[in-house]
Structure formats: structure tokens, C-alpha cells
Structure 1
């Protein structure tokens, strides 16, 4: 069981480490919120979404569902619309007011909705979860499979907490709000890039 736990921990860490729209969004919320606790909606939503995807992958359910063409079309179509709106909302929060003002933080409801979109409408996250974590879990039987899944979920939670804390440190250093404004704009561009990628997959 320990071997399965260590395998899952290292595998999940390798998958979650690269820069992606989900990571950028959580870091952004840690940086722009006035207190670290105000970024918890984004952190917890992203972590819970990852937990759901990991469990579905380990149990083999997600692979069956995504074989249905209409499900993939629905996910990608909804993802394009939501990511375009999300990018616009984040860009707008840094575009108004004086250049010395800090960006306007997102309220909890928008944090949850946006975290859901970047987690569940992210083809890279879904394919990594199904193709890598789900496939790797096939070598284990229960209860080793649960240990493998638990370690992947633990990495996800710790990583998102770490991102929010790192973002908060940047936010405290940038009292003028200049770097936070550019961070918001970078986040919006990355999110629009993901929307364009999803749109291409939709019409391909």
C-alpha cells in the first residue's frame, strides 16, 4: 500500500506542476484577494474538482462517459463560452480605475464558478487524469487503489494551497497593485488561449 501511495504522490506532482490555466487562476486569487482566507472558494473548488476527476478515473467511470461523442461536444462547447466570459471578467477587473489601484478581487460566487470552469472544462486536466492517473491505477487492486487515489488527491490539495499562499506573498509585496494588474491580464490571456484551444478541438 505504501508503494501505491508513493507512486500516486510522485505521479500527481509531476502532472500538476506545469503552468496551466487552473494553476494560474488559483495563484491569481491568492494574490488579488485582501486576505488568504478569501481565496478559499477557489482553492477548495479546484481541489474538489480534481478529487472528483481522480475518483472517476480510478473507478473507470470517466473513460466510459467520455466515449460518448455528445458528452465531449457539450463539455468543450460550454468550456469555450465560459472561458471567454471568465477571461473578460478577469481582464475587466484590472482595466478600470487608476493604474496605481489594486485589481478588484473576485467575489466567492465567481471564484467557485470560474474554478469549476478551469477544472472541468480543461482538456489537459481531464486527459491527464484519465489517460495517466486512471491508467496507472489499473496495476493496483483495492485497497492499494484507494491509497493511490488518496495520494493523488492529497497532492492536489497541498498544491493549490501552496499556490494561493505564494500568490498572497506576491500580493503583500506589491502594495501598488502594478504587478497584480499584469498578473490579472496574463491570467485572462492564458484563459482565452485555452478557450481558443477548446474551440479548435470542437470543430476539428
Structure 2
């Protein structure tokens, strides 16, 4: 146990530090949590995707991606386009004249919600830089027998974060019973997505 625990905690701490930054995926999970819509499947998808990507990175996929700049470029362009489109949608919701209380939110199907979650997850080049390359490098530095323990620790942090974000969002429901709060949130979402998109376009240009 004394040999296993440090590897588990290292994976947990690294994953927690990387995943808690405000980003497109986190804001989408928060929004769905506030709506209380498909939270369980979305949380499960995010946690499973992170675990899969971390395991792939530790298994050597990170080194393979690092040797394929064309793939990184394609992901960057696709991610920028998707984030720009979602930013426009967020600004449109912010400017809508109708009330935007929790009970007035337009519902989406489970399939569409999961498709959007997948886009935020896999069209984000940062997930490959952070989750696959960085976590993969750190995990590969562990002894071979301890690499699965590192992955388990990292995946545990990811799952706990998404569960807390998705289900903890309902604590804020009284605040978001006011339309103005939704407009502020959509403004933050729009600015964040647009900033990320512009950042990605800048990387392509350079």
C-alpha cells in the first residue's frame, strides 16, 4: 500500500489541477447541471473519456500524437470552429428577450447532449496536450507496475470533479431562477468560448 499510494495521489493531484480550470467542457457540464438535464450520462461520459485518454497517454499514444502535427492541426481547426459556433449560440441566448429561468430552458435530447459533450471533449486540442501528452508523460515516468495506479488516481479526480460540478450545480438553482443570472452565465460562456476559439486560430496562424 505504501508503494501504491504515492502513485495514486500523484495521478489524482495532477488530474485535479488540470481539470479544475474554467473551460468549455466544464461550463457545459455546469449549464446542464443547472438545467438538471441528462446530468448522469454527461458526467459518466466525461469521466470515462478522461480515464480513456489518460490511459492512452500513459500507454504511449501521447508520443504518437506528438509525432503527428497534421492531426494536431486538424483538431485545432475543428475545435476553433466548434467553439466559435457555440459562442454565437451563447450570445444569442443572452440577447433573447424571453425569460430564461431554469423552468424555461429549452430541453435537448440525450443523444444531442452527449454529442455536444463529445465535441467539447474530443475537439478541444487542450485535452490532448494536458490529458494525453502531459498526464501520459507523468504516468510513463512511473514504474510499469504502478502506471495503472497512476491512471486510477487521475481518473478518480476527474470523476469526482464532474460529479461535483454536475450535481452540485443545483445548489445555485435559486440564483438562476432569475433571467438575469442566465444572461450573465451565457455571457461568460460566450466570451470564454470565443476567447478559446481565437486562441486556437492564433496557434494555427503561427
- Provide the C-alpha distance between the structure 1 equivalents of 2:23 and 2:164, rounded to a whole number of angstroms: 15
- Provide the C-alpha distance between the structure 2 equivalents of 1:104 and 1:75, rounded to a whole number of angstroms: 30
State whether residues 103 and 181 of structure 1, in contact with CA within 8 Å, keep that contact through their aligned partners in structure 2.
no
1:164 lines up with 2:177 in the alignment: no
Greater shift, 84-93 or 161-170, is seen at 84-93
Q: Could you tell me how far 1:194 is from its partner in structure 2?
A: 1.0
1:15 lines up with 2:18 in the alignment: yes
Per the alignment, residue 138 of structure 1 pairs with 140
Q: Cα 1:182–1:103, aligned 2, differ >3 Å: closer, same or farther?
A: farther
Q: How many residue pairs were aligned?
A: 201
State whether residues 27 and 189 of structure 2, in contact with CA within 8 Å, keep that contact through their aligned partners in structure 1.
yes
Structure 2: which 5+ residue stretches go unaligned?
none
Instruction: Normalising by structure 1, report the TM-score.
Output: 0.86
Q: Cα 1:107–1:91, aligned 2, differ >3 Å: closer, same or farther?
A: farther
1:30 lines up with 2:16 in the alignment: no
Among 182, 198, 201, the alignment partner of 1:199 is: 201
Greater shift, 102-111 or 181-190, is seen at 102-111
Per the alignment, residue 6 of structure 2 pairs with 3
Give the superposed CA RMSD. Answer: 2.2
- Provide the C-alpha distance between the structure 2 equivalents of 1:41 and 1:180, rounded to a whole number of angstroms: 23
- The runs of 4+ residues in structure 1 deviating greater than 6 Å are none
Structure 1: which 5+ residue stretches go unaligned?
none
- Provide the C-alpha distance between the structure 2 equivalents of 1:113 and 1:193, rounded to a whole number of angstroms: 22
